[in-house]
Amino acid sequence: MLPTYKHEPFTDFTIEENKKAFEVALEYVEGQLGKSYDLVVGGERISTEQKITSYNPANKEEIIGIVSKANKDIAEQAVNAAYETFESWRKTSPEERANILVRAAAIVRRRKHEFSAYLVKEAGKPWKEADADTAEAIDFMEYYARQMITIKDGKPVNSRKGEHNRYFYTPMGVTVVISPWNFAFAIMAGTTVAPIVTGNTVLLKPASTTPVVAAKFVEVLEEAGLPKGVVNFIPGSGAEVGDYLVDHPKTALITFTGSREVGTRLYERAAVVHPGQNHLKRVIVEMGGKDTVVVDKDADLDLAAESIVVSAFGFSGQKCSAGSRAVIHEDVYDEVLTKVVKLTKNLTVGDPTSNNNYMGPVIDEASFKKIMGYIEIGKEEGRLVAGGTGDASKGYFIQPTVFADLDPQARIMQEEIFGPVVALSKAKNFDQAIEIANNTEYGLTGAVITKNREHIEKAKRDFHVGNLYFNRNCTGAIVGYHPFGGFKMSGTDSKAGGPDYLVLHMQAKTVSEMY
């Protein structure tokens, strides 16, 4: 019996011993930089001529690793390997599958700082954010292992006299996993192990900006005893390999986390039935957000300012849950704005290898340009009150940026920027604040800062987001505690890290036997 699930504790870096241990891990990872990583198909390592080079976003010159790049031929081999392996893997007992996840979690836990150090280097995560990313990866494995045990026998159904009925879940088949770079470990690992533990085989295509941490994780799964062919590691271009896998007639399930643009396109493509395909594909698509912190007039205003700043600037605003806008009651607007600006101006930006920096870089040049473009739009649409500058000479650094006095329909109030930019808007009353909070096409997370019980109840009912928080920031969902997924154009609301997630990777079967 596995002990009850509890989330992995976060590391306290104010303790000297922990700080030292992390520095040792960073030094170790620095010694590993520039190595080459192969594809893994049917357990065989494949080196290709075409490569993906992964760079440190804080230092453009530094190469994190060089990873072989799959093309359509290799993707085809991988589909066939996954298709064949499915026949044996689906018959492996749920307990055995769950045990592999627990063993993999134990391996990662022993090498926790090493994985976090890779995230510092490859994704530009500050220590605290990297530590939380690794903890979440461990949590997904521990949580899904236990969930599998609870659902392995299905659910009770009625039986009449002379009849024995059963209702249980059976895996779907070849699963395409396409993951983003912003939780390069947690989301990549979580969306990989969920199909595995439920008996599916996987084609893992990680984001091209963060393939090294994924390659490291595949090594862990092998060490934990995962049979060959269950996970096939095929980094490659989203447009080339991604489309090929999504369209493939043998693909049964697609689980994607990323932008609205790619997610909706993929959702549409997956609906097409191709020659040779004898099933409908299932799709789990988790996409972007334009998440709001609402501040009521009856609120702790220090808490409000802190919640806005933490939600907006944690990991440089590169979280789908980032609070990239705040809607504040007009009676307290000026006071909250002053506090937000003060807190923002105290934030430090720089190389995240140093734990003194609150914010590191943004992920790459394209992101840098896109965010700086939105800052220009913000200058037209609102009043710049903090930040507004960037420097891409060594890495992609952008100062935390606050815009005030936005019209609720302004572009920076509506579009996902995915960078350290927050837009503030004024509401006449609480009803209007909730109306504004609901006025985007997204519905992922939200927070309300209020002491008013009636308003809490109203927000519970009317603030239409998948993850709603009161009197705290709107980021930082924890596996098993805050199942995560959004409404509207934020996705299919799969609620990763929640009790209903694994079932999405299976189909229910009813068996009726007469005796």
CA–CA gap between residue 344 and residue 415 (Å, rounded): 22
11 binds ligand NAP (CB under 6 A): no
DSSP 316: G
243 binds ligand NAP (CB under 6 A): yes
Least Å from the CB of residue 60 to ligand NAP: 18
Least Å from the CB of residue 125 to ligand NAP: 13
Element (H, E) at 154: none
Nearest to 440 by CA among 282, 216, 288: 288
Cα 207 to Cα 64, 67, 183, 514, distances in angstroms: 14, 12, 10, 51
Burial 449-462 (b: 16+ CB within 10 A, else e): bbeeeebbebbeee
Taking residue 275's Cβ as centre, other Cβ atoms within 10 Å add up to 5
371 binds ligand NAP (CB under 6 A): no
CB 55 within 8 A of CB 64: yes
CB 317 within 8 A of CB 418: yes
**Per the structure block, which two tokens stand in for 259?**
């932008």
When the beta carbons of 142 and 286 are compared against ligand NAP, the nearer one is 286
Tokens 């932008």, residue? 259
Q: Interaction with ligand NAP in 160-199: which residues (CB under 6 A)?
A: 178-183, 187
When the beta carbons of 103 and 260 are compared against ligand NAP, the nearer one is 260
Least Å from the CB of residue 55 to ligand NAP: 13
311 binds ligand NAP (CB under 6 A): no
Spatial CB neighbours of 413, under 8 Å, sequence gap ≥ 6:
290, 325, 406, 407, 423, 425, 440
Encoded one letter per residue, x for contact with ligand NAP by CB under 6 A and - for no contact, window 416-435 reads x-x-----------------
Catalytic residue among 114, 122, 320, 474: 320
Which of 126, 190, 242, 497 is the binder for ligand NAP (CB under 6 A)? 242
Least Å from the CB of residue 238 to ligand NAP: 2
CA–CA gap between residue 220 and residue 216 (Å, rounded): 7
The reply to whether 320 belongs to the active site is yes
The reply to whether 286 belongs to the active site is yes
Catalytic residue among 114, 122, 136, 286: 286
CA–CA gap between residue 210 and residue 197 (Å, rounded): 24
When the beta carbons of 213 and 304 are compared against ligand NAP, the nearer one is 213
Strand locations in 290-434 (E):
291-295, 323-329, 383-386, 390-391, 397-398, 401-404, 421-427
CB 321 within 8 A of CB 291: yes
Least Å from the CB of residue 296 to ligand NAP: 26
Which of 124, 289, 382, 480 is the binder for ligand NAP (CB under 6 A)? 289
Stretch that binds ligand NAP, among 5-13, 118-126, 300-308, 484-492 (CB under 6 A): 484-492
Encoded one letter per residue, x for contact with ligand NAP by CB under 6 A and - for no contact, window 246-285 reads -----------xxx--x---x-------------------
67 binds ligand NAP (CB under 6 A): no
Least Å from the CB of residue 34 to ligand NAP: 20
Contacts with ligand NAP by CB under 6 A lie at: 178-183, 187, 205, 207-209, 237-239, 242-243, 257-259, 262, 266, 286-289, 320, 416, 418, 444, 486, 490-491
Residues with a known catalytic role: 286, 320
